[in-house]
Structure 1
Amino acid sequence: MPLWLDLLRTPMAAPETPRLRTMRRTFQALCLLCALGVAFISPLTAWLGRIAPIAVGSLLLASAVHTALYMVRKNRADNAYLDAATGDRS
């Protein structure tokens, strides 16, 4: 069987659980907020003062931490799903 056909028949990712869906949507919201915070740093600084850069920095840090947690949990779910699908019990 050609490799491409074998890859098409192989499940590539686990079905998304409600918890992973929530984490994915939170990740997307954090990315959007980071983009808006960086794009509008000048108006935010005028409105919030010295707190604005700290808030945007905190948002960037929260995004990085949440991304790392999401990737670990998503990879763990994918690996467990693929192990169950292939019958690998090691």
Structure 2
Amino acid sequence: MNFIPLVLLSVTLVAANVLVYQVFIKYFLAGSNAAMKFLVLNMTKDVVWMVIALVVLPKEKSVFFILVGVFLFASFFLYYHVIRRLNNL
């Protein structure tokens, strides 16, 4: 199993999460329905990232489980920070 594509996809997921978080802080947090706007943006990002990952990576069960683990780990931290920001309003 080649780990370079997995590492690259993990880095792209983290970069995409940071970008989504920055957009949330800069544009959505001050407006109305900030949580719903964040969810739409984040779900779109997740679907696009997952499709790209499934096209690029080899079709193996172990790769898929690693991909899901990276996705859950990165999403947990993103949602944790967003929920904390929303609760502090």
Structures share fold, TM-score greater than 0.5: no
The TM-score with structure 1 as length reference comes to 0.40
